[in-house]
Amino acid sequence: MLLKKVLLGATALSLVYGTVTQAQAQQAQNVIYLVADGAGFNTYLSTNFFNGAESVQESWPVALAMSTYPLRTESSPGALQQDTDTVYDPEKNYDETPIIDESLEFAGYDWTSRTAPDSANTISSSMTGVKTYNNAVNVDGAGNDLLTFAEFTDTMLGLRTGVVTTVQWADATPAAFSGVSNDSRGNRNEITDQILNAPYIDVVIGAGNPDFDNDGAQRETPDYTWISEATWTDLLDGDDDGFSAEWQLIQSREDFNALANGSLDVNRSRLLGVVQSFDGKQQYRAADGGLDTNYDSLPFENMREDVPSLPTMVEGALNVLPDNGFFLGIEQGEVDRSMHSNHLGRTIEAMTEFNETVAFIDEYLTVNIGDPDRASYDNTLVVVTADHDHLLLGGDSDTVAFSDPTSNGVGALPNALFQTGGHSNRLIPVFAKGPGSDLLAIRADQEDPGYGAYLDQADLFQVFVGATTPQP
């Protein structure tokens, strides 16, 4: 099956080389793909207002917009045909026609909400180059497995894969990063075992710990929603049978810190880090009323101290992966979770941690420039983006169509309003740096009146393959 998928990937590769120019002389040996789940342009703007500064990626040489539309919004396999109504259309998106007796005030708000993608099909699109339905993990519209970037580079180039997330490590985005295929993101236990069985994955880090709740308290009865009792028991055994023969399990903040500073005794060929929390790392904590109350609470108040930071998790993953020859997918999934709850403070909190993680990666790769044995900007493509947008607009957006948030000063929540608790079909920002980053600009052949040149999310697969594969 994998060989068949790799052979089918030759078609995608030929499409890549149809757009590669002589300007792309360097070849990437590594790809780092960072996703702030749900973060649109206004998520960046709101976070910048609160912090009083832009993120490091906003000054990178490649800064573009990207469409994320689904094949169709249904959540199960079916037709392969593209639903033309979901395709991003600036005229539909910016439609200011008032809607009478509806919860959303303008026609553009309605269109972008009802045609929105989810995290599964969006990251799958970037990992396969193929549009698919909401809920799908690396399968096409009919539910057929697709060749993924992780599989392709493992077979063709020997790249190893790592996955880091702040939410459950078998959820939609990390599952799609990992290269496994499933017709439904809801098959959680099945996806967990698929990830652990994928031979090209060296490290997986995230939440979804069955033994702990969202405040780090140990449960009397484990919750096996995200991993089966049999698999979890196997991993806890630490013996030479089953998954524990290859996978070393760590859970405590102390072990994550040791992994990051290089002092942890890694005694298995692969590492699974599951933080001592269930839904997410910080965003679900009960302090200040929790995620679904006290929406005026500011970021960073009463933070948990028993879980690692995302930069620490990423540094640990880099210590497990080879110095050169890897693909690392990183998700700050709590941006999206906070936006679903319309909690602006915790959105900014999670987005700030994401930006700090990008800054860590940027410094890490800059320091190593000139060392051919280490990952650096000499040999590493970094792409920073989201999977989809949320309809976060200005505080006056009920009456002024598509207004942007405005500042209340550093350290204060901006004037902003969530129009819905769901996703939108709006464009998202994408930033890139390193060898192969010019391929994004080549692909950005469409123009939006609000955000300028944009490419589509499915183009990222061809960018990743084109950046890492020697030209014929």
Asked if 415 and 49 count as a contact pair (C-beta separation under 8 A), the reply is no
Residue 456 φ/ψ, nearest 5 degrees: -110, 155
For residue 292 the two structure tokens come to 């679904």
For 50-79, what is each residue's pLDDT tens digit? 999 999 999 999 999 999 999 999 999 999
User: What is the per-residue pLDDT for 472?
Assistant: 63
209-230 mean pLDDT: 97
Give the whole-angstrom CA distance, residue 58 versus residue 434: 15
pLDDT at 390 over 80: yes
Rounding to the nearest 10 degrees, give the CA dihedral for residues 93, 40, 188, 259: 170
In angstroms, the CA 443 to CA 464 distance is 12
Distance CA 146, CA 127 (A): 9
pLDDT tier at 22 (50, 70, 90 boundaries)? Answer: very low
Over residues 230-263, the pLDDT tens digits come to: 999 999 998 878 899 999 999 999 999 999 999 9
- pTM, 2 dp: 0.95
pLDDT cut 70: percent of the chain above it = 94
> What is the distance between the alpha carbons of residues 133 and 75, in angstroms, rounded to a whole number?
6
Q: 2: part of which helix (H) or strand (E)?
A: helix 2-17
Burial call 240-267: b when 16+ CB within 10 Å, e when fewer: eeebbeebbbbbebebbbbbbeeebebe
Nearest to 119 by CA among 37, 34, 206: 37
CB 246 within 8 A of CB 268: yes
